[in-house]
Structure 1
Amino acid sequence: LFCLARAFVRKSSILIMDEATASIDMATENILQKVVMTAFADRTVVTIAHRVHTILTADLVIVMKRGNILEYD
């Protein structure tokens, strides 16, 4: 959460979230997703996740395995 706050303050044009919600409960993840969607609406957000729920609102999804792209939509 500290890194997210730092990205918000710095006005970064790209936010990379690598398993940022992996160790939090679903309620907290939902809050975090809403904050990211609102605060970073005009920026590029790259989300790396294993949970399908985490990427449901993504504009573009790339599924990878062992460094290879399996699906792209």
Structure 2
Amino acid sequence: MVDDVYLQAYRDGGLNAVNDLLKEHFPTDRDRVMVMEGLQDTGYWAITWHEKKHPNGGMYRDFGRVKAYLGDGDE
């Protein structure tokens, strides 16, 4: 599973460890947003997003933070 390394970080050090690992692996906000969107899509991770107005209209996510692991621990 793609998020296994983040699950292990969560079990070892909590949410701060997950966010630190994401920053280490993906130093740019844009890359980190793409990875966190994938984590959120698994249904096991909740992300708090910061959104910014796009110059052409609409909103876009410019950064985020993992706020919760939603799994039951049986994975």
TM (normalized to structure 2)? 0.37
Whichever structure has more helix as a proportion of its residues is: 2
